[in-house]
Amino acid sequence: MASLLALVVSTGVAAAHAKLESMTPADGSSMAAPPTKVVLTFNEPVGSNGTQVQVKSPSGKNVATGDVQVIDNTVTQPVGAMVDAGRYQVDARVVSADGHPITVSGSFSVTHAGHPATQPGGTPTASQDSGSNTVTIVALCLVMLVVVALAIVIVRRRPASQ
């Protein structure tokens, strides 16, 4: 009888699959500014082979960008510009430690359209890029004016040849 109980208990543990513990942004949450990534945390480590995460905008466009990162029980998917207000659907497929594929889904809402996602230290968005271009052009013009002024001063200080 004890060996039968041990067999049943060990089979239950072997059949256990990874379960989603949390999602960031939280499932069902609402926020004004869009996130830069979606993070899925499982109750046990998951494999990186075959892991896929899609983040679909209200219009159905997948805004997931870059490679998904899997570290132990955490799956991180960077997202690009989320300029549509509304509900974003997250659908993921991961492989549990026991080799079984697991699918999870959730959603969150972005309340204000027109807020592009930005990554700290990442590629600037179009509005940030145009602002830095203006500063660069002004700085180059000032440098050119200084060079021209110095050239005029140097030419005027030369003694006239005899």
Span 82-98, pLDDT tens digits? 888 999 999 999 998 88
Span 92-137, pLDDT tens digits? 999 988 888 999 999 999 998 654 544 444 444 444 445 567 777 8
pTM of the model: 0.61
Span 132-150, pLDDT tens digits? 677 778 777 888 888 888 8
Task: In whole angstroms, give the CA distance from residue 58 to residue 82.
Answer: 10
pLDDT number for residue 2: 47
Task: In whole angstroms, give the CA distance from residue 33 to residue 62.
Answer: 18
- Residues 110 and 146 both lie in one domain: no
- Residues 75 and 147 both lie in one domain: no
Task: In whole angstroms, give the CA distance from residue 35 to residue 78.
Answer: 9
- In which domain, by residue range, is 153 found? 124-157
